[in-house]
Structure 1
Amino acid sequence: MPERFEIDAPEWKRVSPKYIFVEVVGSIIFTILLIAGLVIAALLWQWVWAPWAAGAVAVIAIVTIALEPRRVRSIGYVLRDDDLLFRRGIMFQRFVAVPYGRMQLVDITRGPLARMLGLADLKFVTAAATTGVTLPGLPLADAEGLRDRLVELAESRRAGL
């Protein structure tokens, strides 16, 4: 019988729990803007279906916001010998391995709400367009330390190619 690869064997590092707040506030703002647009459209152009659409948007937003804590807890990463393994997703899980030697850019971005909470997003770019990975919701000090470590690992791996 073939040996089964245990993807959960390494110790996964998770993003900050504060990131839940960032995601919930973003969802609320998007929902308010979308519902306001539908209400304005209903008033200006007498779209009779717009209130139903606004109700559907509200229900979808409530479900999405209720699932945000679980979705954020599903985001994780682990530094392995040759690559960084990233995971996210509840129903549809995504696992991406980014080899250190293939990293071309490691970038830190911070939105206004994330800045207020001391969080940052770390983005890894490789030559392949499909392997761009963003690790959201890291404490700023962790993001900076991880960026420096990944740049160091990428330079050492590229030198060894």
Structure 2
Amino acid sequence: MTPSGPFDPDGITWTRVSTRLVHARLITAGLTLAVPLVVGVVLALTLSPWWWFLGGGAAVVLLESIVVIPRQVAAIGYAERDDDLLIRRGILFRTLVVVPYGRMQYVDVQAGPLDHRLKIATLQLHTASTSTDATIPGLPPHEADRLRDQLAARGESRLAGL
């Protein structure tokens, strides 16, 4: 990929997250949209055809999710540099977060029931700034453990965090 401004710095090799994150997000979207879809269809068949708008709207959002979610997951990446960690995400609204190792306070690894079943985890970096969204979802557990330990060690070596 050719560098495109601030979101693709020169000399950076991005590490992608697991494609199992696509499955997790599609399952979540499907379960969330199943309720309005079923309710809309049942009410349209029993009460009024106007309820097709609810079921149809949920179906459209579900189809859009099937197209967009794989692209969103493919846009998530991270890169470790000597002094900081880069995290990027987004297709239309792109974000690049740079977290200096010395500013980290602690590193969390989380996995809910669905994440555990799909063998993925989320790594979250906590800094002094409450507005920092330094999370990397969809990591294989062994990579999340490795990254957590490495980031903690780098933070300790900078003597400013952790």
Q: Secondary structure at the match of 2:18?
A: coil
Q: 1:95 to 1:159 in 2, by over 3 A?
A: closer
What displacement does 1:132 show?
2.9
Post-superposition CA distance 1:65-86 (Å, at most 9, x none): 2121111111000011111100
Q: 1:48 to 1:104 in 2, by over 3 A?
A: farther
Post-superposition CA distance 1:31-77 (Å, at most 9, x none): 1133345567x58xx68754313311210221112121111111000
Alpha-carbon contact 2:97-2:133 (below 8 Å) kept: no
Equivalent residue number for residue 24 of structure 1? 26
- Note the aligned Cα RMSD (angstroms): 2.2
Equivalent residue number for residue 85 of structure 1? 86
Q: Secondary structure at the match of 1:131?
A: coil
Q: Give TM-score, length-normalised by structure 1.
A: 0.84
Q: Give TM-score, length-normalised by structure 2.
A: 0.84
Alpha-carbon contact 1:106-1:124 (below 8 Å) kept: yes
Alpha-carbon contact 1:102-1:158 (below 8 Å) kept: no
Taking the TM superposition and a 5 Å limit, the aligned residue runs for 1:11-160 are 11-36=13-38, 42=43, 49-159=50-160
Letter matched to residue 37 of structure 2: I
Q: 1:60 to 1:80 in 2, by over 3 A?
A: same
Letter matched to residue 68 of structure 2: L
Q: Distance in 2 between matches of 1:144 and 1:110?
A: 12
Q: Secondary structure at the match of 1:11?
A: coil
Question: Gaps spanning 5+ residues in structure 1: where?
Answer: none
Q: 1:63 to 1:159 in 2, by over 3 A?
A: closer
Partner of residue 9 from structure 1, selected from 8, 11, 16:
11
What percent of counterpart residues are identical? Answer: 40
Alpha-carbon contact 1:76-1:86 (below 8 Å) kept: yes
Q: Secondary structure at the match of 1:129?
A: coil
Q: Distance in 2 between matches of 1:100 and 1:79?
A: 10
Number of aligned pairs?
A: 154
Q: 1:8 to 1:23 in 2, by over 3 A?
A: farther
Q: Secondary structure at the match of 1:128?
A: coil
Alpha-carbon contact 1:39-1:51 (below 8 Å) kept: yes
